[in-house]
Structure 1
Amino acid sequence: MGKISPSLRTSFPVTGLLKNPTSSPTPSVPLPRHVPSSSKKPPSKKKQPKTDRTPDSNSMMAFKSPSLSDAKKTFNSILSTSPAQQLDPRFHNALLQSFSLVSSTPQDSLSFLDYMTKTHPSFIPNRYTYHILLSHSCKSPSDSNLSSLRKTLDLMTHDGFPPDQSSVDLVVRSLCSVGREDLAVEMVKEFSLKHSPPDSFTYNFFIRHLSKTRVLSSVYSLIEDLQNSVNLKPDLVTYTILIDSVCRSKNLREATRLLGVLRESGFKPDCFLYNTIMKGYCILDSGSEVIGVYKKMMEDGVEPDLVTYNTLIYGLSKAGRVNESRKFLRVMAEMGHFPDAITYTSLMNGMCRKGDALGALELLEEMEQKGCSPNSCTYNTLLHGLGKSRFLDKGVELYEMMKSSGMKLETASYATFVRALCRADRIAEAYGVFDYAVESKSLTDVAAYSALESSLKWLKKTRGQGTEL
């Protein structure tokens, strides 16, 4: 990616801003854990010959008309050309799925299933067959009172497939996906009383969805209603979802109250929950409260993880308490959690906010010496800080290295850097940064030009007024 220039070396002993000249920047999102280590190419799979038992993709697309009578004719035509597939329930389910995508009403899909079973008795529906109908009924606007859904549930029970937890999960998720939350509430109660109550995963999915789409008071009412009517009780995950919701809305007073309710219910806060509350205080730039949560966490015997320390350092740095946050680099290392790119970038961001962009650049040396590779966010943070502090020569060199490595510019760093170049009357360089932002698709053409245009207008105005740049 390029070596640091002599001018940067004379200011501070940076050993190399970027490593591995031919490699791409470190992604900010971690790679999946289970990645094959072998570089050998996996053996190619031989193409299996098509058999009568394999559903033909062309036949799956045969249902183009919502007409039930047309569907019956098409079904008979397909089966007459592939008689062996009459024994394969997967084939029949695929046909039912295909018709349900185009049929006008769930009732037509039910009628089509009835025709399939009567015409070809060898086809025996399974649970997946009925789940196709359940999903169609939930998403169909024509089934406003869910009468087809209830018919399907009755049919399942009659045919030996009583609705279970997978059925209620499908119903809840399908109804929520089309904004029919009131009906989802109704079906959760009905399932709990007649069939099977939802498991904790479905229940907490539902609460999380409602906390994003409804006011919190109505979610509280629902939780209480489900607890009293069908004995569905919130667990630790439920409280964590609620606390996360109020923290995002900056209502930390309510988060504290919920923490008390959680304890009264017999649950002990875990590391994830403390991290959630800590992030809430970070949003409010409340450094003292962030430290308070950390201390309470330690008092309760909950061991912090890497996210805890990263959140703590981010919150303190954002609140301007950079020196205090740097002390936690040693603390977290002693606890076995070594600083990563997020840790250092948070510190650099705090230092740049305080006007110490050169100190943030020096921190890059420490970061690399400890074997931590910076990522695109790290460099954009530094570029933003250097531009804001008017260290343009160092900013240009950093930008050139980002450019040579193919790193994309972020909106804030691009706008700040271009503005600083224009104010220093380095217009040609500002246009060069604009060209790279567009060519690398860092920003849209409109966004990139808008930032450049506003900076040029400011320059023209100050020149006309004879203002000192």
Structure 2
Amino acid sequence: MGKFPPSMRGAKLPMNALINKTPSQPHPLTENFPYWADKKIPKKKPTKLPSEMTSQLPAITFNPPSLSEAKTLFNQVISTPGKTPLDLRFCNSVLQSFSSRATLQDSILFLNHMIKTHPSFSPDSSTYNVLLVQSCKANDFSISSVHQVLNYMSSQGFPPNKVSTDVAVRTLCSCGREEDAIELVKDLSGKNLVPDSYTYNFLVRQLVRNRELSTVNSFIKEMREGFGIQPDLVTYTIMIDNVCNRKNLREATRLLGVLSEEGYKPDCYVYNTIMKGHCMLSQSGEVLDVYEKMKEEGVEPDLVTYNTLIYGLSKSGRVKEAKKFLGIMTEMGHFPDAVTYTSLMNGMCREGDALGALALLGEMEAKGCNPNVCTYNTLLHGLCKARLLDKGIELYKVMQEGGMKLETGCYGTFVRALCRKGRVAEAYEVFDYAVESKSMTDVAAYSTLESTLKWLKKAREQGLAA
């Protein structure tokens, strides 16, 4: 109920029957919408290749990774020409197989042997990147092995470039070695090999995810003052997104000011991110302020902007204001989708207007917008909370017919509502469906049912339930 409603697969099921009690018919408007995901696309049959083109690379494994045995095996392979495509791709795969199990020094010696014994093999940068990746994965708690490979590459006529820098930084970060990645970037930058914006921003993204904000700020400051590398709009967007996810809106506001001081104009994505942060804190007033600032700065709101705005207002109990933006966004050419309507229904259910939310579902379908699983779960939860169990059961049957899953919170609320009315047998049926549809684990579904039955037993003993 309080989460951002995810954009999920639409469920094409009419809901007018829940309101008008009349047999439902497929809405004519839905036939005009190209839901391509529902169409079965025939699989293309693979083209048969000549026999000489379908030869597979032989499976070469090194277990244990003995250098002498690897050399012998490679010699045997190249001594039988015609059976194996001894091209660059094959040689790289052999080196990759060996390096995945051997030491870095043995891998370098094995590559030298391959070059010496197979003169037609001419390594390129992709070959040396195999060794570079291996050096980054080494557990030596330093980047000495990385520098060893980079120096080896230079001696072979392939000096480090932006691509090799990117490969090393990404591999180090994938191993959780962000500090080593920072050290490598600084070392290379000192040698006039500064990373490009893609590598730089990738490293910043990894730092904001896994390190303290002070570490990120320190890295940016050092790269700016020491090597003249300036953060760009993408850099600030990454940082703003991170601090908003951490609900640090004060820092987000500061970064927004820095962004403007640096001469960058915040785009729609930046404003949407800050709006999302305010929504997390239920600060609907601030959400509206960001929206107004967007318009003042000449930034055109998009569908995400309006969805975020409507969600924030609805979550804070300002449903009437949220409804006004349905018309505004339509006038601006952004048509409400399932996320928009689900946010409104969520807010209406929070205010106890579950029937109004159900009526909104009919309006939603009448406009050709298909509700999704989150929409149904939100409504079912709201109907049960409003003690409209009969309506909830009808809605549940529609979900059941469509094979939709029950969310954990919705399932618990529905089971408790049924047991409260003494309809224990139906609660067991809902439990069976939750398990069969794989809405949740068996243990989670049973734990909820068991705790509800215990509560019911105690309530009956106290005369609080029928």
TM-score normalised over the length of structure 2? 0.91
User: Is residue 2:149 matched to residue 1:147?
Assistant: no
Q: 1:287 aligns with which of 261, 266, 284?
A: 284
Q: 2:259 aligns with which of 251, 259, 262?
A: 262
- Single out whichever of 233-242 and 156-165 deviates more from structure 2: 156-165
Q: Do the aligned partners of 1:262 and 1:268 also contact (CA within 8 Å) in 2?
A: yes
1:129 aligns with 127
1:418 aligns with 415
2:117 aligns with 119
Matches within 5 A, 1:291-370: 291-370=288-367
2:105 aligns with 107
Amino acid at match of 1:9: N
Change (3 A) 1:135 1:19: farther
Structure 2 portions without partners, runs of 5+: 1-11
Q: Do the aligned partners of 1:134 and 1:149 also contact (CA within 8 Å) in 2?
A: yes
Q: Which whole-Å CA distance do the structure 2 matches of 1:439 and 1:298 have between them?
A: 49
2:7 aligns with none
Q: Do the aligned partners of 1:79 and 1:86 also contact (CA within 8 Å) in 2?
A: no
Structure 1 portions without partners, runs of 5+: none
Amino acid at match of 1:100: S
Q: Tell me the secondary structure at the aligned position of residue 79 of structure 2.
A: helix
- What are the superposed Cα offsets for residues 397-441 of structure 1, whole Å, 9 maximum, x if unpaired? 111111111111111111111111111111011000000000111
User: Is residue 2:81 matched to residue 1:77?
Assistant: no
Q: Which whole-Å CA distance do the structure 1 matches of 2:464 and 2:369 have between them?
A: 45
Q: Do the aligned partners of 2:78 and 2:86 also contact (CA within 8 Å) in 1?
A: no
Change (3 A) 1:263 1:2: closer
Change (3 A) 1:373 1:4: closer
Q: Which whole-Å CA distance do the structure 1 matches of 2:268 and 2:14 have between them?
A: 41
Change (3 A) 1:449 1:48: farther
Structure 1 segments (4+ residues) deviating >4 Å: 1-7, 13-16, 37-41, 83-87
Matches within 5 A, 1:84-99: 85=84, 87-99=86-98
Q: Which whole-Å CA distance do the structure 2 matches of 1:67 and 1:57 have between them?
A: 19
Q: CA deviation at 1:171?
A: 0.6
1:68 aligns with 67
Q: 2:202 aligns with which of 202, 205, 208?
A: 205
Q: Tell me the secondary structure at the aligned position of residue 266 of structure 2.
A: coil
Change (3 A) 1:461 1:48: farther
- Single out whichever of 150-159 and 370-379 deviates more from structure 2: 150-159
Q: Tell me the secondary structure at the aligned position of residue 51 of structure 2.
A: coil
Q: Which whole-Å CA distance do the structure 2 matches of 1:468 and 1:459 have between them?
A: 7
Q: CA deviation at 1:111?
A: 1.1
Identity rate, percent: 58
Q: Do the aligned partners of 2:18 and 2:395 also contact (CA within 8 Å) in 1?
A: no
Q: Do the aligned partners of 1:14 and 1:364 also contact (CA within 8 Å) in 2?
A: no
- What are the superposed Cα offsets for residues 147-183 of structure 1, whole Å, 9 maximum, x if unpaired? 3322221222232322222111111110011111111
Amino acid at match of 2:454: K
| Number of matched pairs | 451
Q: Do the aligned partners of 1:246 and 1:254 also contact (CA within 8 Å) in 2?
A: yes
Q: 1:168 aligns with which of 159, 165, 169?
A: 165
2:20 aligns with 9
Change (3 A) 1:86 1:380: closer
Q: 1:46 aligns with which of 37, 45, 48?
A: 48
Q: CA deviation at 1:218?
A: 1.4
User: Is residue 2:238 matched to residue 1:245?
Assistant: no
Q: Do the aligned partners of 1:86 and 1:120 also contact (CA within 8 Å) in 2?
A: no
Q: Do the aligned partners of 2:14 and 2:365 also contact (CA within 8 Å) in 1?
A: no
- Single out whichever of 153-162 and 441-450 deviates more from structure 2: 153-162
Q: CA deviation at 1:88?
A: 1.1
1:278 aligns with 275
CA RMSD, Structure 1 to Structure 2 (Å): 2.5
User: Is residue 2:212 matched to residue 1:215?
Assistant: yes
Amino acid at match of 1:130: Y
- What are the superposed Cα offsets for residues 81-133 of structure 1, whole Å, 9 maximum, x if unpaired? 34675751111111001111111x21111111111111222211100001111
Q: Do the aligned partners of 1:2 and 1:404 also contact (CA within 8 Å) in 2?
A: no
Amino acid at match of 1:219: V
**Higher relative contact order, chain-length normalized (CA < 8 Å, sep 6+):** 2
User: Is residue 2:441 matched to residue 1:444?
Assistant: yes
User: Is residue 2:409 matched to residue 1:407?
Assistant: no
Q: Which whole-Å CA distance do the structure 2 matches of 1:6 and 1:362 have between them?
A: 11
- What are the superposed Cα offsets for residues 421-464 of structure 1, whole Å, 9 maximum, x if unpaired? 11111101100000000011111000101111111111011111
- Single out whichever of 268-277 and 83-92 deviates more from structure 2: 83-92
Q: CA deviation at 1:136?
A: 0.6
Change (3 A) 1:176 1:442: same
Q: Which whole-Å CA distance do the structure 2 matches of 1:272 and 1:209 have between them?
A: 20
Amino acid at match of 2:341: Y
- What are the superposed Cα offsets for residues 333-367 of structure 1, whole Å, 9 maximum, x if unpaired? 00000000100011111111111111100001110
TM-score normalised over the length of structure 1? 0.90
Q: CA deviation at 1:377?
A: 0.8
User: Is residue 2:451 matched to residue 1:467?
Assistant: no
Q: Tell me the secondary structure at the aligned position of residue 63 of structure 1.
A: coil
